[in-house]
Amino acid sequence: MNKTLVVSYLPNSQSVTRKVLDYFLANSRGSTTIIERDLMKNNPPVFNGDSMTAYQMRGFMGQELSGDYARAIKPFDALIDEISNVDNVVFAFPTHNWSEPGVVKSYIDAILQAGKLINYDAQGKPTGALQNHKALVMFASGGFYEEGNPRRTIQPAFTFYLNHMGITDIEFAPVGGTLMGEEVTSKSLAAAEGIVDGVISRWFAKK
């Protein structure tokens, strides 16, 4: 069976994004093996002196790592191995201060390493390693950020992050207006669930 990694950070017990994620999980049951990466339970590693030196030695200078440097980069590599070994990845998080929460960006920074998920050729042209992966990015926001609004940062940022990993098949399921009352939220939620339906039938189409 194909595998789907769910990378989530959902700290709100009333999370609206959680509803979209639960909808995805309920409707994809039996079609994919779910691997959970809950960033609230396990914060991603953040670079310190040793791990940053290790990254630069390996990623930019092509050096073999050993000792403290090899040890320091291990938790980062474990996350890279995890995402490399699935077919699909789902991100689920709230909008905080006009972007993904910092812990989600820390996860991206941990995995988006030169020499691992991005490889540069002699001309400096990057190629992402996850060429056959598909991604779904779900997130709720209190307001609505339409196309062209400078506060609409999540779609362009995730397109950029994921494209650089090699993932070009990306769907977004935003739930806008969660602070604008129940009626607005329900309508947005239904639209997001519609997007999830489309993703599930495309990702898990029986051949």
Ligand X SMILES: Cc1cc2nc3c(=O)[nH]c(=O)nc-3n(C[C@H](O)[C@H](O)[C@H](O)COP(=O)(O)O)c2cc1C
Residue 178 binding ligand X, by CB under 6 A: yes
Query: Does 152 participate in binding ligand X (rule CB under 6 A)?
Result: no
**Between residues 108 and 140, which has the closer beta carbon with respect to ligand X?**
140
C-alpha to C-alpha distance for 148 and 54, rounded to whole angstroms: 39
Q: Which is nearer to ligand X, 18 or 187 (CB)?
A: 18
CB 108 to ligand X: min, Å: 18
Query: Judged by CB, which is closer to ligand X: 51, or 178?
Result: 178
Tokens of 27: 């409707």
Position among 3, 96, 164, 187 found at the interface with ligand X (CB under 6 A): 96
Minimum CB separation from ligand X for residue 169, in Å?
24
**Least distance from ligand X to the Cβ atom of residue 136, Å:** 15
Q: Biggest alpha carbon distance in the chain?
A: 57
Q: What is the nearest approach in angstroms of ligand X to the Cβ of residue 165?
A: 24
Query: With 0-12 CB in 10 A as exposed, 13-18 as middle and 19+ as buried, what is 7?
Result: buried
Phi-psi domain of 166 (left: phi exceeds 0; alpha: psi -120 through 50; beta: other): left
Q: Which is nearer to ligand X, 121 or 182 (CB)?
A: 182
Handedness of CA 24, 83, 124, 49 (dihedral sign): positive
Q: Which residues in 46-65 contact ligand X (CB under 6 A)?
A: none
Among the listed ranges 25-33, 107-115, 124-132, 134-142, the one in contact with ligand X (CB under 6 A) is 134-142
Sign of CA dihedral 109, 115, 119, 121: positive
**Which range of residues in 52-60, 66-74, 91-99, 122-130 is near ligand X by CB under 6 A?**
91-99
The whole-angstrom separation of Cα 205 and Cα 123 is 39
Minimum CB separation from ligand X for residue 94, in Å?
3
Residue 97 burial (10 A CB sphere; 0-12, 13-18, 19+): exposed
One of 143, 149, 160, 201 touching ligand X (CB under 6 A): 143
Among 4, 28, 113, 141, binds ligand X (CB under 6 A): 141
- Interhelix angle 67-84/102-111, nearest 10 degrees: 100
Residues that bind ligand X (CB under 6 A): 10, 12, 15-18, 94-98, 140-143, 178-179
